[in-house]
Amino acid sequence: MTFVGISIANVQYSMHRTVNLATSILGIRPGSLAYKRSPGMPKKQTVQGRGKQKAGATPQPTVQASPVTQKKDGSILVAVHAKPGAKTSAIIDVTAEAVGVQIAAPPVEGEANAELCRYLAGVLNLKKSAVSLERGAKSREKTVRVDAPGTTPDVILQRIQAAAS
């Protein structure tokens, strides 16, 4: 490549010096439309909300994560981490993400899913028909739907925590 009789390949400077030499010869200045930076690393995306808070701003309330949530239609969803093939069915841990349940049924043809619904109905003192599998039929991460009018997510969580201890 040649600019006004000067070969850039022969210039033994760094890329920065080469660009400065070419821009000074051609009269192109950084910031003009003709000046184009070499493609390098993409710019970082700025994150909103970083830094200091404004003096008059009220802090946002923190929402505690829970494995039990309520849908708009009134049904309650319980996030479950299933562990099939255990000797007995039991709730082994309750975390912010999911309820750990070991199931005394093999993971074959939906047997573990049916046992999970039966076991949770017994723990929650509900009919078996009130507890059904919402998502995760072939996964260990499942969502169980509880249809119990008048029951709140806090009550469901308390019953699960009582069974876990």
pLDDT of residue 54: 57
Collapse the DSSP code of 73 into the 3-class scheme (helix H, G, I; strand E, B; otherwise coil) and give the result. coil
Whether 78 contacts 88, CB under 8 Å: no
First to last CA, the chain: 76
Query: Hey, which residues does 103 pair with through a beta bridge?
Result: 84
pTM of the model: 0.61
Chain mean position to CA 41: 27
pLDDT in tens, 56-105: 556 665 556 889 999 999 899 999 999 999 999 999 999 999 999 999 99
